Amino acid sequence: MLNPLNSSMISVALVLLALDFDVSTTHVTLVVSSFYLAAAVGQPLMGGLGDRLGPRRVFIAGMTMVVVSGVVGPFSQGFGLLLAARVLQAIGTSTAFPSAVALIRARSRPEDVQSGMSAIAMANSLGAALGPIIGGVAVAVGGWQALFWVNIPLGLAAALAVLFFIAPVGRPTRSGPRPSLLRMLDPLGVLLFACTVLSLLMLMLSIPTGTQWWLVPATAIAAAAFLWRELRAPSPFLDVRMLTRNRPLMGVYVQFAVFNFAYYGAFYGVPQWLEVVRGQTPALVGLFMLPLAAIGAIATPLASRLIRRFGTGRMLILGASLLVAGSAALLLFDDASPLWVVVAALAMLGLPYALCNLALQLRMNGSAPKEAAGIAAGLFQTSRYLGAILSTSMLGLAFAHGIGSAELHGTAVTMAVLGLGLVGLNLRRRSDGASSAD
């Protein structure tokens, strides 16, 4: 829960942080964007290290980073040190998802893997759902500093639980002599990957306010340099050859990015509409949005049973169809819509999240080679961040000249089109011969 929890609960403290550190509203959002960027790079990096050094060891090291960030953050005397604490927090929490996937895959019986993946999906959904609520209570009790303090007991509890209750998996699965830690990290590859992701995110975020076209060649150059490096590195940060040969795994990443592109259109768009058009307070908006994430968590066990019975392919089609239906429900929103209609539509959108998130997570697990389970899981999360950033760019364009019901309807149409695309992709996959269990 720590990664989605920390990415969401900070939203309630942005105003306080801007006042305490005397920074502008634009600059204070760096505590959010720096976390996402560090996590987008940190998830596959930590997953790759887990594949080489063992996921248990990397997880405990990550929780240590979380505890250190919880100590350093509250006592930051400058905004730069606060950002450094957030980056450390992002990297530390980024060890959790890929390490958990690798540990479950290594230690569980095949019939128990799906239950473990379902539990991970529930934890992620609950972290996102509870973030604003826990953040609001923590800030009310102890100021913005409490958002760092809550990580200390959670990080310690997680590290101790793994240390005492999960035995080491054994030697890393990669064969041959183990290279030095520096070569394992592949610092040049990590740097080029970070440059590629950063320039791509900057490009997408610039679209609503005026596209920075110079970022197009910058992104292309960084990506080309990254590919050149990884194809020649003796111990690459990212096994590009494995990814290019593994079309099913690449398909999972593309579908997950597209799904999150659509899903976050509602997650980020509806709150702005509720505040501007319907005049709701931020506190009430948080309560209205709770069903969207909460239903995603509550419905995950049901999604697991349905997937076990009907397979991931059929449930992806059902989930994408429900995404289309939920997006169409947003077209009912207007300046006088009953608020229960808003809550019902948002709750409806929680169902496709439960189905698509778990189904794609299981398909990722089935497509990734065992020796690369950690880095594959990390890239899965990176595709989530890319989809979310694409969604914010879409909303920036839609709301560029004002936030209204018509603009929200345009966003809903885009979401529905993306959902139809996912339906078509999975129908084509089944027609091409995918098994019913897939």
The mean pLDDT of 104-130, rounded to a whole number, is 78
Q: Specify the DSSP class assigned to residue 369.
A: -
pLDDT band at 318 (very low <50, low <70, confident <90, very high): very high
Residue 373: burial class (beta carbons within 10 Å; 0-12, 13-18, 19+): buried
Over residues 188-243, the pLDDT tens digits come to 888 888 888 888 877 876 776 677 888 889 999 999 998 898 888 877 777 788 78
Q: How far is CA 282 from CA 146, 334, 369, 375, in A?
A: 20, 19, 45, 37
pTM (two decimals):
0.81
Question: What is the Cα–Cα distance from 240 to 236, expressed in whole angstroms?
Answer: 8
The mean pLDDT of 125-132, rounded to a whole number, is 75
Question: What is the Cα–Cα distance from 426 to 420, expressed in whole angstroms?
Answer: 10
Q: Over the Cα atoms of the chain, what is R_g?
A: 21
Architecture of domain 246-438: Up-down Bundle (1.20)
Phi, psi of 221 (to 5 degrees): -65, -45
Question: What is the Cα–Cα distance from 178 to 123, expressed in whole angstroms?
Answer: 34
Q: What is the pLDDT of residue 437?
A: 44
Q: What is the pLDDT of residue 209?
A: 67
172: its two tokens: 């890393």
The mean pLDDT of 367-373, rounded to a whole number, is 82
Question: What is the Cα–Cα distance from 100 to 88, expressed in whole angstroms?
Answer: 19
Look at residue 373 and give its three-state secondary structure: helix
Please report which residue ranges of 233-338 form alpha helices under DSSP H.
Answer: 240-245, 247-276, 282-298, 300-310, 312-329
How much of the chain, in percent, has pLDDT values that exceed 90? 21
pLDDT band at 282 (very low <50, low <70, confident <90, very high): low
| Helices vs strands, H then E, count in the chain | 21, 0
Query: What is the pLDDT of the chain when averaged over all its residues?
Result: 83
Q: Which of 57, 11, 55 is nearest to 33 (CA)?
A: 11
The listed range with the strongest mean pLDDT (14-23, 316-325, 330-339) is 316-325
Look at residue 335 and give its three-state secondary structure: coil
352: its two tokens: 């496709």
Question: What is the Cα–Cα distance from 438 to 314, expressed in whole angstroms?
Answer: 8
Over residues 401-419, the pLDDT tens digits come to 788 888 889 989 999 999 9
CATH superfamily for 1-169 is MFS general substrate transporter like domains (1.20.1250.20)
